[in-house]
Structures are given as C-alpha cells and as structure tokens.
Structure 1
C-alpha cells in the first residue's frame, strides 16, 4: 500500500522561499534599485512601480509559468515551439545569466564595489584575479551536492545577509538623510519615470533567472518529500509568491533610500558607488567592511544558484557529461569572464537582455495563460515570429557605440523608430507581439472549429 505524500510545513515553505530569495537576490538587486532612487529623485514612486513590474511581477510570473506547466527548466518553457527552439533558447538564457554575463557579474560587482576601495591601487588587477578564484571556488563547493543547495543558501547565507541589510535599513530610516519628495529629478525621469523604471528592471535579469532556476527549485521541493507534479507545482508557486513579495519590499526600501541620499550626495555613476556612499555616511570606515560582506554574501548566493542551474539543465539535456563536470566548466568560465572587468560585462550584457527579454516575457505569459488556448503551438509560433525582428533591432540599438553607431546600426535604429511604436522606449516588440497574439488566437479558433466540425461529421457518418 502506497503511503500518503508528505505535506509541507510552514517551515518548509519558508526554506524554499528563502532559497528562491537567495537565488534571485544578487548584487544587481541591491545596486540597481538604489541607483534608480537617485535617478528618479522626487519621482521615485512611478519609477518604483515600473521597476516592480519587470523586477518582481515578471519573475513571479516566471515561477508561476514553471509551476503551471510542470516544467523543470528553460527547455520546457520553449518546448511548444519545438525541440530545436527550446534547446537554443535554453543555451542562450543560461549563457547570458551564466558564464557570459550574469555569473561573472556576481564576482565583479562584489569586488569592485565592496573590496576594491579597501585595496592599494597596485593590488587592483591581481586582487580581482585572487578574489574571483576564491569566489567561484566557494560557489563550486557549495553547489557540489545538489541536495545541499537548499541548506547552503536558504538556511545559512540568507539569514546572515538579511540581518546585515536590515541593520542598514534600520539606521537609514531612523536617521533619514533627507526628504525623498524634495530631491532633484534627472531629465529622463521627469516625464518617463515609469518606463525608465520598467527598463531598469531588465538589469536584475530575474525574469530570465526565474526560468533558469526552475530546475533547482523543483529539485529542492522534491528533496523535501513531494513527488506528485501538482503538489510540486503548488509548493513552487506558493514559495514564489512569498519570496518575490519580500524582494519587492526590499526594492521599495532601497529606492526610497537612494532618493533620500541625494540630500547629501551627487548623483552617482552607478548603484555600487551609491551604496558605498550610504554605508560610509552611516558607518564611516567600517561601512566598507559592512558593504563588502553584504555584497559578497548576496552575490555568492546568486552565483550558487546560477552555476547549479546551468549544470543541472545541461546535464539533463547532455547526460553524458556529469552534473559536477558541467558545474566545474561553468565555474571556470565565469572566473575567466569576471576578469574582463565589470564595465565590459555590463556593456555587452545589455544587448543580450534587450534581445532575450521580449521572448522571455511572451513565453512566460503564454505559459501562465496558455490553458485558454490549450497551449496550441500555432499561437506560440506566430507570437514568437512577430517578436523576433523587433527583438533583434532592440539588441542592435543597445550595443556599444562600435556597433550601434556604425552605418548599419544607425540605419536599423532609424527603421525601428520610424515603423515600430514605442521603439524609443525600448518596447518596439510590444505591438508586433500583440498583433501576433491576435493572429495566433484567430488561427487557433479556426483550427479548433474545423476539428470540431470534422469530428461531428464523422460521428454522424458512423
């Protein structure tokens, strides 16, 4: 007789939510909202709303997409479009948030912002080499046993990080630097604060990460004793709501803190400098140590999730290479890329994000709401086909000047601005994708009616 399946306790849900939080919340999740607060100034509220759409709501939908479709990773989300598309999409997502950009950024941000200010100038390049080697060595070690990832991230690293972060919040709001409603607004945020906040949310990479982390979270949920797919899906969704809601609250606190900091500091070039200014203001020289610890902890939790998700998904689809071999490969490649430096990584990651985010958004939405059209591949194909050209144009427009300001780049951008609504906002894909959805749904309806009519005729003949 089969025993009834275990029911997860509240503590189990908290552990899974903590795992998700740790996987999502990296250095970018600290520095981008803080910098957004400085950019938006008094207009922090609409900018915050836009940021929460792409940095909280969309990643939550990504988790729900994994849960609703009983998927275990990126491949399953793209599977309605065929095996080749699903495999290419999986490789591009993992490469972008993995060893090409996302994972190396976890080391370079924590080093550049937290550690570098404490080093002598002649130690800087060698310091990054040593720090990144130790950093990815630790990520490899913590990810080595798949079943131990939940313990490493959810039970150990997160609590330490959160205690430090909320100590910063406590002091910052107990002694506010200024009134956020009275701060200067940069030109871009005077009229377009919501849309600029929306696009800033891309930088967190969390919508892409939500798809990639699916296999890690599902593995962790099953490790707690759940086997039934429906129960695993519900547990994943519930933990996703808990984790992303908590992340949203932290974003709000960071954005307001960033806006308040303008009362004492000029607009910083990026969020790492802004965070350094804030902790130095409140804690003096000791602030550097607090900042370095905060960034290293949160970056390490994200790095653990990224290298593990890469290794799990690639082992699943290329099983001749073991999980640990894939883990070693992605850790080593991330170490190499990290040593190109933070500026180069960010400069070349933005074009890939502008290319992949439209596909991710439409696939997430169709996965969540796909029951309405029975996940018909026809709808998927038409929507993705209509999204492709605008996504490619967005990518070219976001490339560094050597590409975007070339004759070809300028010609493509001119075409994009002339023919695609909202292209100037970085949303040139929106209208084509909507048109593709309408066409796809019409095609699905026609196909369904024809199949129903044919079945009725056959029934009458029999």
Structure 2
C-alpha cells in the first residue's frame, strides 16, 4: 500500500497542482489582452476567442505535456539537433525569463494599476523602486523553496487571484455595462486569425516549455516517481489549468466587449479594466485592480524565476539553485527600474521569431508516436519554420531584406501573419518522404544480408 500511495496523487494535490499551473501562466498579459480584444471585437468576440484559445490555451497545455513526455525541453530540442537544442533552449529561458518576462512582471502592475493613482508630488522613480523591491523580495523568498510552491500557490495565491477576478466579473452583472458593438480594428474581417495571433501576446506557449519541468518536479515532490505516471498527471493538471484559463479569458473578453458602448475604444487592456472596475466599484475598484495585477504578475514571476534557475543550475555546478534565484531576482529588479525598454526592443523580435518554432516543436512532440523522433522530420520542419519566422520578425522591426521578404510574401496566410505554416507542413512532408526512403533502404539491406547468410 505504501508503494501505491507514493505513485498516485490525491484529488486535492492534483487540484492544487492544476491551480499552480494556472497561476504560473496567468500574468499581466493574460489579464489585459482578453478585455482589450473583446472591446475591439464586439459582436465577433466569440469567433475571435476560438482562435485565441488555440494559441493562448491549447498550445500552452500541449507544451507542458510535450516537455513532460520528453523529459525536459533540452531532450525535446535534441531531436532536431544538439547545437539547436543548446541555442534554442538558452534563448527560450533568457527571453521569457530575465530578458523579458521577469522584469516585465515587476514593472507592469506598477505602471498599469499603481502609478496612475499616485499623487503628483510622489516621485514615480522612487515609487517604482520601492514597489519592485518589495515585489522581487517576495518573489525571491517564495522561489527559494520550489517544493513548497504547490502549497503556497495552490492554496493561497491562486485562490486569492481567482476570488478577486470573480468579484470583478460578478460586479458587472450587478451593475451591467452595455451590449456588444460592431467589430473594429481588423476584427471585423479576419476575426479568427486575429484571435489566433493575439494568443501570441500572452507568450504562454513559450512559457509552457519552461513550466513543464516545474510541474513535473512538483508532481515528483509529492512522491510520484514513475515517469509514465508523471506524464499522465501532468496531462490532467494541464487540462485543468487550460479549462480554467479558457473560462477566465471568456469572462474578461465579455467585460471588454460590453464596455465599449460606454467608454469607447481604450488605448490598452489595462485602461479597459480600469474603466470597468471604476464604474462598478468606484475608487475602491482601483485597489481591487492593483491587487489583481500584482497577484497575477507575482505568480508568473515566481514560476519564471524557479524554472530558469532550475535550468541554469544544470549548465554549471559552480552556481547553486539558490544563487541563481538571487541573481535573477536582483537582475530583474534592476532591469524593471532602469533598462526594460532596451531589453524589450531586443527580446520582442526574438520572441516573434521563436514562437512559431515553439509551436511546431510542440506539434512534432505530440505526434512523435508517428514520427519516432526522426531527425529528418524534426530537422526540416524546424529549419523551414525558423527561416520564415526569422525573416518575418526582422521585417516587423524594420530590418527588411527585400529579396527574402518578397519570397515569403507569396506564401499562403502571409497577410494573416502565418506565413510560416505552409513551410512547416512542407518540412513534415519532406521529412516523412526521407524517413520512408531511409526505412526502405534499411529493410532492403536487411533482406539482402539475410539472403546472403542463407
């Protein structure tokens, strides 16, 4: 009975891990993009949400599962090439971690939910420093004990975050906003594809490649050691977190869609939520929103610091996990106060370039029961996807190379921002052909050798 108990999670522990995974995903971007999207989409909100759910819910959940099944991101990326595995994994952890995700998690809640309500006599620089000092100190302390994350986040932080969001949504039913308006800003024509691309902005598909190892370790910390059961439990936790994300996104999009008739089109999702909470709750709405933003960003920040520290520890035995937590916390504190704009200008194009690669790596991992880890399929698919996505991302930041840009401009779905999709499919097809030829040659050689031996 003891061995059995160690190889299974109780329903309570599984729910706590599912809530923990939800909170790792749900940061500031997840909070502000759905209402802003709903505000512009109006009557097309639910069509837009279908596309949004694919990249903001489906692929993040599949990413966690893919990493769990592969035994880590590095093992998954090695199916392409060992050099690619090192470069891609480091880029993923740097860009989503200290290069963008962690500093942004500290500065965004202050800029969006605190700064607008401070008196003019207060120095914004000093206030930002004090806020981020407390924020990253708490994140540092909570990240020091990853084995306790399930209890701390699943039992305390996540329920508190969900309660605050539900209070906000419930208030909109008590004091209704308005009806859905006509779609604008491109949502009226390419509703589904706009939603699909909007899901990129959450960055959760890339984050999932980081968080997969955190969830696997959280499950193992509860005594589960069998790898197959770790994968099965990761799938259950992922589905649970994904379902919760979809429900919250739908609620927030509804808030945005019903707010436009009263407030018009906002500059960003934070303004949308500010208008809504102020209308429903008055001045206390600002406090409610500040708490929601802070909790959402804090949980994501803890997940990123934890996963990045765990990965960087594997690169060098000289620096311990605890030291990496300290390094990342201090660096992110400084970046959030001094150099975030410059870091964003470098990191965002990198994210745009690697997002399609991350999506296809997850797709290949989920279909590996067919592909059997074929270097041809993995290599060609990621190569063609990467070339097109890099060219496209360079063009988006004004670094166009006319010949190359003109070449990808003729690809299907170029205008919709999905020019990489056709090359990705081509890579799979070519890889399958080469795999088939190789398998046939091996089979022929074996038959020939068998005949010779006879």
TM-score range, shorter chain: over 0.9
Task: Report 1:150-229 matches (<5 A).
Answer: 150-180=150-180, 183-229=181-227
Task: Report 1:70-149 matches (<5 A).
Answer: 71-72=71-72, 74-121=73-120, 122-149=122-149
1:257 pairs with 2:258: no
Q: Which residue of 2 aligns with 1:434?
A: 425
The Cα shift of 1:59 comes to 0.6
The Cα shift of 1:125 comes to 1.8
Check conservation: 1:390, 1:416, Cα contact below 8 A: no
Distance 1:204 1:416, change over 3 A: farther
Q: Which residue of 1 aligns with 2:361?
A: 363
Q: Which residue of 2 aligns with 1:268?
A: 266
The Cα shift of 1:302 comes to 0.5
SS at match of 1:427: coil
Determine the C-alpha separation between the residues in 2 that align with 1:398 and 1:103.
24
SS at match of 1:176: coil
The Cα shift of 1:388 comes to 2.0
The Cα shift of 1:206 comes to 0.5
Determine the C-alpha separation between the residues in 1 that align with 2:352 and 2:208.
17
Q: Which residue of 2 aligns with 1:424?
A: 415
Distance 1:355 1:412, change over 3 A: farther
Distance 1:297 1:2, change over 3 A: closer
Q: Which residue of 2 aligns with 1:394?
A: 392
Q: CA RMSD in A?
A: 1.9
SS at match of 1:226: coil
Check conservation: 2:7, 2:229, Cα contact below 8 A: no
Check conservation: 1:96, 1:352, Cα contact below 8 A: yes
Q: Which residue of 1 aligns with 2:31?
A: 30
Choose 372-381 or 349-358, whichever is displaced more. Answer: 349-358
Q: Which residue of 1 aligns with 2:434?
A: 443
Determine the C-alpha separation between the residues in 1 that align with 2:258 and 2:345.
28
The Cα shift of 1:455 comes to 1.9
The Cα shift of 1:93 comes to 0.7
5+ unaligned residues in a row in structure 1: which ranges?
Answer: none
TM-score (norm 1): 0.93
Distance 1:384 1:269, change over 3 A: same
2:447 to 447, 451, 456: 456
Task: Report 1:266-415 matches (<5 A).
Answer: 266-340=264-338, 349-399=347-397, 404=398, 408-409=399-400, 411=402, 414-415=405-406
Deviations 1:290-323 (A, max 9, x none): 0011110111000000000000011123222111
Q: Which residue of 1 aligns with 2:230?
A: 232
Check conservation: 1:203, 1:350, Cα contact below 8 A: no
Distance 1:159 1:50, change over 3 A: same
Choose 111-120 or 283-292, whichever is displaced more. Answer: 111-120
Check conservation: 2:7, 2:226, Cα contact below 8 A: no
Distance 1:313 1:412, change over 3 A: farther
Check conservation: 2:37, 2:253, Cα contact below 8 A: yes
Determine the C-alpha separation between the residues in 2 that align with 1:461 and 1:230.
42
Choose 325-334 or 246-255, whichever is displaced more. Answer: 325-334
Distance 1:262 1:343, change over 3 A: farther
TM-score (norm 2): 0.95
Q: How many residues align?
A: 451
Distance 1:310 1:412, change over 3 A: farther
Distance 1:147 1:53, change over 3 A: same
Distance 1:231 1:99, change over 3 A: same
